[in-house]
Amino acid sequence: MPRTTKVDCPGCPPLRALTFDVLGLVKVIQAQGKDSEIPKVVERWGEPDYSKSVLAASLVDRKFDPLLAVARKNGLIEVLNPLNGNLHVAISDNTDTSPPKDDAIIGMHLFAKDELALASRRCTLLSCTKKGNASMRSIDFSSSSSEDISTNIVKTWKVCGSGDVLCSKVDGSETHALFGGKGVEVNTWNLEQCTKIWTAKAPKKNSLGIFTPTCFTSVTFLSKDDHRKFAAGTSSHQVRLYDISAQKRPVISFDFRETPIKALAEDVDGNTIFVGNATGDLASFDIRNGKLLGCFLGKCSGSIRSIARHPEFPIIASCGLDSYVRFWDIKTRQLLSAVFLKQHLNGVVFDSHFVGEADTTHSAVDSIQQDIEISQTFSEEEHTPQKRKKASKEDGEGKKRKGASKENKKCKKKSHGETESKQR
Amino acid sequence: MGEEKKNRDLIPSMIKNKEKRAEVHANLKNQKKLEKRKRAKARDAAEKQALELGEEPPPRKTPRTIENTREVDETVCKPDDEELFAGNDADEFSSIIKRDIVPKVLITTCRFNSSIGPDFISELLSVIPNAHYYKRGTNDLKKIIEYANARDFTSLIVVHTSRRKLDGLLIIGLPEGPTAHFKISNVVLRKDIKNHGNPTGHEPELVLTNFTTRLGLRIGRLIQTLFPQDPNFRGRRVVTFHNQRDFIFFRHHRYIFEGKENKKEVDSKTKSKDKGEKASQPKVVARLQECGPRFTMKLISLQHGTFDTKGGEYEWVHKPEMDTSRRRFFL
């Protein structure tokens, strides 16, 4: 009999993810959380049209009235309802002087903490184009008719004089934003006052006197409530940790494989980051010491464009040019399942308020808690006895590591203190 | 009889005496052969009987090969996939395949080439219409791409040699990519093929077979853009890219339909006048003549965009961990 390798998919806890592809389609992937069920594409929004290719997307993930903003290649920004795909409002990115073709939007953020939003159905979004035109605008779509959409650009500013911006990110408290790109050092902006507060300095020449030109391809903040620490990936396959409060040069920098870093995502604990590169390698690093925790192996062969971390379950999703969305377990680093979506994918986001079919009767909070419990038991059930042993071992190691890291932290604090004192 | 039964139950590899083991094994093999022959005979007999009785002969079994026991692959293209067609309409090759642009190919070598490179290229030039050879000199590939873009080339082929042997082939779609890197092997040039023909200057027909998955389709379309989309059937020239187990075989033929009178029929013509009409219609035989070169390609990587080793993004790279089974194919 032919020996065939079966892709063993342990299945996923109940989750809902949205993916965005080059044909402008938004696909919804759901798993109901039953035993070893493979997630499926349940909905597809939009018609295949290459000019509507999705460049950036942002989701406001909340229980009541979630919003999804999608930037398209033809310069349109659409605000959708992520539950059913209904279009709230579509505005054109009116940079009337330059055609949208050579000034594409590269990053977008939809603000969640907006007091006005709930009351009068308005939302605020920050978008940044390749040439560094960042703009903040608030969109009002309270009236149902599409004619009187009032968009007023609150602020516009230039992020950089020259070079191409390739990545941007807004921190968890939504007061600061990061921009970086080809020929653009990473810089931090205060969004309330619209001022640049910090710019990185290029690392020194290496021992051969060779200076690598700056090209940042991805940035991410390490934790939600701290805007001072962030990680950046470069096209010279380097991951760097910056600390605004410490110095202008990277605190730690380390290499990962041999192709440019294309996607970065942070874990909720603020110590681990997930790194994806242009040949489809995905790995997790401990950012405090730059140590490789492990690689995610799953026959992935196309460049990773986007990584998303599920807010509650220990799951990440990755997608990219090989047109698969893959769900991974963070702890065991095993592939949970892979869904083939036919096109090159540009982004993936999680809708964390999705509840599986099993516990729709419970109230929201309970169900989420239960979900967590379920997921825990679920993940425990997944392991064969052997693996369980391994996991327990790993846990032990993890504890040790934690201990070690604590020491590290202390050291770091000390060093910080020293630097501060020196500055004084 | 008892002994035979015993022998059958024995596993020859368990016997420690070599002579005995060899004997038992030979016996076993012989028996198997006889059984097989018997089965074949029975099958043939059944078929013959069925034919005599005018019944349907029992269906023949298809042998199990690596290709038809291929691992199930969800990326295999389906004919009713609208997203696939929309994607095809929008990709980098559509303007050539829709005949909006006539393909124009630039061929060059690697920097430190040996004589085999230009030899091979001179044959490629006779295969691909509207192809131009430029000496590589000391130019960077990125500079060459800029140059070719400025001159409206639609593809760029780079032939790599090492130790006086061909070893790599880069096919770059211009201006937006993608870049496919092939390993090239089993090269036989035209002069080494016996009874080879010499191709004419007509536009060839193109045969692409077995490019089934999404990746395969993309590679197939990339190859398609090298050739003009309107073949001149007068030339009776055909270029084949045949994919089998992820190896792409290149062949270049001339074909001819020949009227050939069968000798037996000629004899029968003299004997009976009734069959004269049949014989007057000559039997048409298609004949092939190979006009080289002949080579095999294997995909190493497919890069998004034009050639860029440092900052490039890959759509597909071959990794050793993907070779989990002999029955897993990517094209």
Q: Which tens digits make up the pLDDT trace of B24-36?
A: 999 999 999 999 9
Question: A235: which chain B residues are within 8 Å (Cβ-Cβ)?
Answer: 310-311
- Prior bond of B282 cis (ω within 30°): no
Q: Which two tokens stand for residue B200?
A: 């004419």
Q: Do A342 and B90 touch (CB under 8 A)?
A: no
Report yes or no: A48 and A26 within 8 Å, Cβ to Cβ. no
Put simply, whether A74 touches B (Cβ < 8 Å) is no
Cβ separation of A301 and B317 shorter than 8 Å? yes
In eight-state DSSP terms, residue B14 is: G
Torsion, Cα B129 B134 B140 B142, to 10 degrees, reads -30
* Mean pLDDT computed over B206-234: 93
Q: Do B314 and A323 touch (CB under 8 A)?
A: no
pLDDT of residue A274: 94
Helix axes B214-224, B82-90, angle to 10 degrees: 30
What CA–CA distance (Å, rounded) separates A265 from A285? 11
Sign of CA dihedral B261, B267, B268, B271: positive
Contact A2 B64 (CB under 8 A): yes
Interface touch A235/B311, C-beta < 8 Å = yes
How does residue B225 score in pLDDT terms, banded at 50, 70 and 90? Answer: very high
Asked if A340 reaches chain B (Cβ–Cβ under 8 Å), the answer is yes
Rounded to a whole number of angstroms, the distance from the CA of A380 to the nearest CA of chain B is 27
pLDDT at A115: 57
For chain B positions 9-68, those within 8 Å of chain A (CB to CB) are 64
Residues of B whose CB is below 8 A from A297 = 321
Q: Which of residues 292-331 of A touch B (CB under 8 A)?
A: 297, 299, 301-303, 321-323
CA gap A40, A17 in Å, rounded:
10
Tell which A residues from 99 to 158 touch B, by Cβ distance under 8 Å.
Answer: none
What tokens does B214 get?
Answer: 């999404």
ipTM (interface pTM): 0.79
In total, the C-beta contacts within 8 angstroms joining chain A to chain B are: 86
**B76 CB within 8 Å of a chain A CB:** no
CA of A234 to nearest chain B CA: how many angstroms apart?
A: 10
**Per-residue DSSP letters for B110-154?**
-TT--THHHHHHHHHHHHSTTEEE---TT--HHHHHHHHHHTT--
Q: Which residues of A touch B74 (CB under 8 A)?
A: 340
Contacts with B, A 279-298, CB within 8 Å: 279-280, 297
Q: Return the pLDDT at A374.
A: 47
- Report CA-CA distances (Å) from B169 to A352, B44, B182, B270, B324: 47, 49, 5, 59, 26
Cα(A316)–Cα(A313) distance, rounded to whole angstroms? 9
Domain at B82-258+288-322, CATH from 3.80.10.10, 3.40.50.10480, 3.90.1150.10, 2.60.40.10: 3.40.50.10480
Determine, for residues B316 and A302 on separate chains, whether the beta-carbon distance falls below 8 Å.
Answer: yes
Range name among A182-186, B132-136, B268-272 with the lowest pLDDT average: B268-272
Range among A200-204, B224-228, B231-235 rated most confident: B224-228
Query: What's the rounded Cα separation, in Å, for the pair A8 and B55?
Result: 47
Whether residues A278 and B74 touch (CB distance < 8 A) is answered with no
Nearest CA of chain B to the CA of A68: how many Å?
Answer: 23
Contact A301 B314 (CB under 8 A): yes
pLDDT of residue B4: 53
Which residue stretches of chain A have pLDDT < 50? 1-3, 97-98, 145-147, 359-424
Q: Please state the domain extents for chain B.
A: 2-53, 82-258+288-322
The pLDDT, as a whole number, for residue A202 is: 87
Q: Least CA distance to B318: which residue of chain A?
A: A301
Ranges of each domain in chain A:
166-253, 386-424
What pLDDT shows up at residue A408?
47
Distance from CA of B72 to the nearest CA of A (A): 9
> Is CATH 2.40.10 the classification given to domain A166-253?
yes
Q: Which helix (H) or strand (E) holds B205?
A: strand B205-209
Across the interface, whether the CB atoms of B304 and A342 are under 8 A apart is answered: no
Return the residue in A299, A301, A323, A340 with the most chain B beta carbons within 10 A, the one to mutate for interface testing.
A301
Mean pLDDT of chain B: 87
Task: Verify whether the Cβ–Cβ distance A49 to B84 is below 8 Å.
Answer: no
Q: Is the pLDDT of residue B252 over 70?
A: yes
Coil, strand or helix: which one is B64? coil
Phi, psi of A102 (to 5 degrees): -95, 10
pLDDT digits (tens, 9 = 90+) for B293-308: 999 999 999 999 999 8
